Amino acid sequence: MAATTTLAPAPAPAAPASAADSARLRRPTITAVLTWIVAGLFAAVLLSVLISVIISALSTSWGGGWLPAGYTFSWFRQAWDTPGLAQSIEVTFEVAIADVAIALLLGVPAGYVLARKKFPGRNAIILFALLPVILPPLTYAVQLAALMYRLGIGGTLLSVILVNLVPILPLVILITVPFVEQISPDVEHAAKVFGADNLRLFSRVLVPLLTPGIVAAGVLSLVRVLGSFELTFFVSGANTETLVVKIFGALSDPGGPPPALTAAMTVFYMAIALIGLLISLRFANPAQTLARPTHRTP
Amino acid sequence: MTDMPALSGVPRRPLRHRLAERGVDWSLLLLAPAVAVIAALFLYPFIYGISISFQPQSGGGAFANYRNFFSDSYEAGSILKTLRLALPVALVSVGLAAPLAYQCRRDFRGRKMITLVVMLPITFGSILIAQGMPRVFSPYGWGNLLLKDIGLGPADLLYNYWGTFIAAVLTTLPLAFLMMMGFFGGIDRSLEHAAATLGAGRAARFRRIILPLAAPGILTAFMLALVESFAIFPSAILVGQPDNQTHVLTIPIYQAASQNSDYTQASAIAIVLTAIELLILGLVVFVRGRLFKGPATGGRG
């Protein structure tokens, strides 16, 4: 990208092209208009789906009209007092923090080696890391849960942390690789010439340079682990349910709590997830998780 | 790899040096913990799942779990029902997301805002989407109130095929969008400019330059959307009709594991699901290999 920007201010031939561009910006094409209408519709449906949950959590009762009959905050109080809710929030945070920490600790060094070294079996390892990210959790969630119960740790906090590590660790590795590739090996050679041993090279040179990558990997995996449902669902016990699993339980139980109460529980979850999302957008470009970045380092 | 017998005539160097020449040295140990964890928690469970799927809990021979699944036309029919749901979801998601991603491939004011909106369903997950949908799509929901105001009949879009379809598109489209935005961003503008300079009109530029360069990205996004929606789960229960129209492949897995506590049967069906997913992925790799491969950037130097 840097190369393009330095090449872009080429003198004469670039000028008419950019003039044509701005002309096109002023006169949008039919396809562009159609695209934005569809996008607007999509955003409208999506946002009204999400907002309706919030309104529902604030409503005294909501029959068939556009808006509820009255508003109240009492559902939040009641949701907070629901047995196990506070605990499920605690579990959610414990699992998220433990998984992100383990994934960074193991994944960043692995990503470093994969980016720097060519060795036999490298492609196999990359493919091997790609599979848990691409395959939907339900392809392996049940087998993993069966294994956890076989080992006698099914239903424990440990098992919830372990199963959620499966998609997170490879994600950290895959995000780290392009960030390492951007750091010139010359920097490392220079540090070695000046007498840095491996430990100092790592702590004084690599970690500071890799911070943007580490933060990106951390927040993107945090967002992913907060919303992870299937893996936790099959392995968690009564005391180790995360917030999402608890909400699913309430929603799928026909005799469960009233919708407004479940909605209030969901608003707690939305708040947590939204904070995670805002932090992640502040530090990272989410497209990086999915495609190879063609980006400038933040 | 470790060819121990030394070649005659060549002075024998330490094994360490010979391995280092091929890139094998102590630094690879940094990989070991991560590889061990993925092997133990991802690869091994797959093998474990295959092995228990051949030891049916209810007896009846090694293949009983698979026979039970495929001989029951209701359960085996879930494969077709999944396909009937996943294929349109992937087509619609990519079809709607591709033009938008194309418009958004370069930075502009508001792109961050679009990214935020698009990230919402990915972050919140399908459960939250399914929870909010009744208020918008049920007979008394906002959508139908709006339809009534403009004089159209109520649309039945909940607790059937369409409920799950809408929920799936709401979560899959953003994924496809982000993926394609990344791909399209890598297509160098100067290629388009060069074509324009050489006299190509807008339609020709799109057909001859942009489409071939974007095709691998669109195809990858489509296949990953298909893989994602093939394993659709919570919304098939919450806003679908899990015992009929949206009896997708994940429902028998869930029923076997959570309701009947028969993990051997559940593993067998999960393995069928995995096999289909790997088939789809293999197809992408095959088709992608036949498309244009090469730089999507202009020549520089």
Distance from CA of A159 to the nearest CA of B (A): 11
Cα–Cα dist A240/A246, whole Å: 10
Contacts of A52 in chain B (CB under 8 A): 132, 135-136, 142
State whether B49 and A142 contact (CB < 8 Å).
yes
Distance from CA of A127 to the nearest CA of B (A): 12
- What integer pLDDT is reported at residue B8 of this predicted model? 53
Among the listed ranges A108-117, A122-131, B108-117, which one has the minimum average pLDDT value? B108-117
Choice between B46 and B298, residue whose per-residue pLDDT is larger: B46
Give the nearest chain A residue to B19 (CA atoms): A119
Out of A113, A134, A145, the one facing B227 most closely (by C-beta) is A134
State whether A106 and B33 contact (CB < 8 Å).
yes
Give the confidence band of A294 by pLDDT, cuts at 50, 70, 90.
very low
- What integer pLDDT is reported at residue A285 of this predicted model? 63
Q: Where are the domains of chain A?
A: 11-57, 78-290
Contacts of B27 in chain A (CB under 8 A): 113, 116-117
- What integer pLDDT is reported at residue B16 of this predicted model? 79
- Is B31-290 a domain of CATH 3.10.310.40? no
Give the nearest chain B residue to A31 (CA atoms): B99
| Cα–Cα–Cα angle for A80, A85, A91, rounded to 5 degrees | 135
The helix/strand/coil state of A59 is strand
- What integer pLDDT is reported at residue B140 of this predicted model? 85
The interface predicted TM-score of the complex, written ipTM, equals 0.85
State whether A288 and B300 contact (CB < 8 Å).
no
- What integer pLDDT is reported at residue B11 of this predicted model? 66
The pair of structure tokens assigned to A156 is 């424990």
The pair of structure tokens assigned to A257 is 């709590």
* pLDDT over 90 at B274, yes or no: yes
Cα–Cα dist B181/B149, whole Å: 37
- What integer pLDDT is reported at residue B81 of this predicted model? 94
Give the nearest chain B residue to A233 (CA atoms): B258
* pLDDT over 90 at A41, yes or no: yes
Q: Per-residue pLDDT tens for B122-176?
A: 888 899 999 999 989 988 889 888 888 888 878 888 999 999 999 999 999 999 9
Contacts of B228 in chain A (CB under 8 A): 136
* pLDDT over 70 at A278, yes or no: yes
- What integer pLDDT is reported at residue A9 of this predicted model? 36
* pLDDT over 70 at A217, yes or no: yes
- Burial pattern A242-275, b for ≥16 Cβ within 10 A else e, equals bbbbbbbbbbeeeeebebbbbbbbbbbbbebbee
Q: Where are the domains of chain B?
A: 31-290
Choice between A200 and A284, residue whose per-residue pLDDT is larger: A200
State whether B30 and A109 contact (CB < 8 Å).
yes
Per CATH, the number for A78-290 is 1.10.3720.10
What residue type is assigned to position A43 of the chain? A
Distance from CA of A97 to the nearest CA of B (A): 16
User: B1, B29, B37: which to substitute to probe chain A, counting the most A Cβ within 10 Å?
Assistant: B37
On whether the CB atoms of residues A293 and B182 are closer than 8 A, the answer is yes
Out of B44, B127, B133, the one facing A247 most closely (by C-beta) is B127
State whether B182 and A292 contact (CB < 8 Å).
yes
On whether the CB atoms of residues A145 and A234 are closer than 8 A, the answer is yes
Give the nearest chain B residue to A144 (CA atoms): B45
Give the nearest chain A residue to B194 (CA atoms): A17
